[in-house]
Amino acid sequence: MKRGKKIIILSHCILNQNCVVKPYAKDQEEFFKFIKSFLLNNYGFIQLPCPELVILGLKRWGHVKDQLEYPNFKLECKKLLYSIVDQIDIYLKNGYEVKGVYGIKGSPSCGVNKTCRGDWEGEASCYKNLEDIINRVHLVSEKGIFMEILEELLKEKNIKLSFYDIDDWSEEID
Ligand code: SF4
């Protein structure tokens, strides 16, 4: 097996848990089975950048989608994605198969079928207690901001890809 001419697009943290908001990082090994199945079938990977790491840093608080839905976050996401979309376009135009995009279920940025929304703003002291903060968050059936923008930019180039969620909250990732 040499050039497989098959590609999948992965959210950054699937290959690098170092960027994940505290305390949710997992052992990288937990993604091994998923990654191995593609390697064994000679797929190559495009690793998306982690928008939250780049825009908000490693010491960020956990966010919900509502907090990221502002123009400059979206603009920065676009800047991060332009060259990725160009790469996808190049591969497709040269007859490569781009199997799809794998995001992270529930992420405000990289969720595909589910993202998290909630009535969060201001200092933690604005809320009664931790439970009050947690109870305001809920999963909704929409994409996170980064995935929405990726889909939008692909559409502008008439590229239609399948999007999948990795459920990294479950014990088994496969
Ligand atoms: S889900 Fe997206 S934003 Fe969140 S850590 Fe992974 S790559 Fe970064």
The pTM score is 0.95
Mean pLDDT of the chain: 95
- CA 28 to CA 36: how far, in whole Å? 12
Ligand 1 atom at minimum distance from 14 CA: 6
Ligand 1 atom at minimum distance from 52 CA: 3
Q: Is the pLDDT confidence value at 19 over 70?
A: yes
Rounded to the nearest angstrom, the distance between the alpha carbon of 150 and the centre of ligand 1 is 14
> Domain locations in the chain?
6-166
For the segment 163-172, the average pLDDT, to the nearest whole number, is: 78
Two structure tokens written together for 128: 């009664």
Q: Hey, whose CA ends up nearest to atom 1 of ligand 1?
A: 110
pLDDT for residue 1 = 73
* 115 ligand 1 Cβ < 6 A: no
Mark out the alpha helices in the chain (DSSP H runs): 12-15, 32-40, 51-56, 65-68, 71-93, 130-135, 145-156
Ligand 1 atom at minimum distance from 21 CA: 5
pLDDT for residue 168 = 74
